[in-house]
Amino acid sequence: MADIKKEEITPAQEEAQSETPVNETSAEATAEAQPEITESKKKASKGKLTIYEMTIFAMLGAIMLASKAMLDALPNIHLLGMLTMAYTITYRRKALIPIYVYIMLNGLVAGFSLWWYPYLYLWAILWGVTMLLPKDIPEKRAYIVYPVVCALHGLLFGTMYAPAQAIMFHLDFKGMIAWIIAGIPFDLIHCGGNFAAGFLVVPTVKLLRKLNSLGERLIIH
């Protein structure tokens, strides 16, 4: 009966087998780090607010209030429409948070008078219209579409405000129409200011996205 010869393994071969390939080690390290990198994105996708989002939304609402205060001397000239659109394009549904942070801050600072209540829906209308716009508008077209949408919101601001005005001051339909007509000069100023501010939507969106990327990296590290 022939003897079965065992294969001899040299010490060099044993050492080579015991070593872990560099590629496998780096792959394992990447796999371990991946959950930490994507954790904030997973929370955001589930609709949960991250610490960064809660902080930035509070700041963005305060920026809206500060921008309004800075331009208060100019009638119906402000950056609120532009900021509403920029926040919506960047944060989508969550943009309502900084928008309503601003609305509440405005009420706290200026008082919750009758003029304040229409704000509860006026900025939400612009948010809704912006949400309906395509997400992938080419940049050149965006510089046309965004200012036009922003300008239309300014032009129709008085008309959208009118139903609440009629309810609060018991105006009939004719009285409401007369109120709208009387406000047309102010709406035209509002329209022009919003149109000019609308050209800042794209640069503001770019800035917000850079801040988001930086914020996520800071949280991870």
Q: Which domain holds residue 136?
A: 47-220
Residue 126 inside a domain? The answer is yes
* CA torsion, ordered 113, 115, 117, 122, to nearest 10 deg: -160
pLDDT tens digits along 181-208: 999 999 999 999 999 999 999 999 999 9
| pLDDT tier for residue 215 given thresholds of 50, 70 and 90 | confident
What is the end-to-end Cα distance of the chain in Å, rounded? 67
Average pLDDT over the chain reads: 85
Q: What's the whole-number mean pLDDT along residues 33-38?
A: 46
Residue 191 inside a domain? The answer is yes
Residue 20 inside a domain? The answer is no
Residue 39 inside a domain? The answer is no
Whether residue 139 is predicted with pLDDT greater than 80 in this model: the reply is yes
Q: What is the pLDDT of residue 217?
A: 74
* CA torsion, ordered 44, 49, 52, 55, to nearest 10 deg: 150
Q: What is the pLDDT of residue 29?
A: 42
Whether residue 220 is predicted with pLDDT greater than 60 in this model: the reply is no
CA 116 to chain CA centroid, nearest Å: 23
Structurally, the chain folds into a number of domains equal to 1
pLDDT tens digits along 40-89: 455 555 568 888 899 999 999 999 999 999 999 999 999 999 999 999 99
pTM of the model: 0.79
Whether residue 11 is predicted with pLDDT greater than 60 in this model: the reply is no
Residue 8 inside a domain? The answer is no
For 201-208, which contacts have Cβ atoms below 8 Å and span 24 or more sequence positions?
201/82, 201/85, 201/86, 201/89, 201/142, 201/146, 201/147, 201/150, 202/139, 202/142, 202/143, 202/146, 204/82, 204/83, 204/86, 205/86, 205/89, 205/90, 208/86, 208/87, 208/90, 208/91
Residue 147 inside a domain? The answer is yes
| pLDDT tier for residue 27 given thresholds of 50, 70 and 90 | very low
Residue 134 inside a domain? The answer is yes
Residue 190 inside a domain? The answer is yes
**In contact, 191 and 154? CB cutoff 8 Å:** yes
Q: What is the pLDDT of residue 34?
A: 46
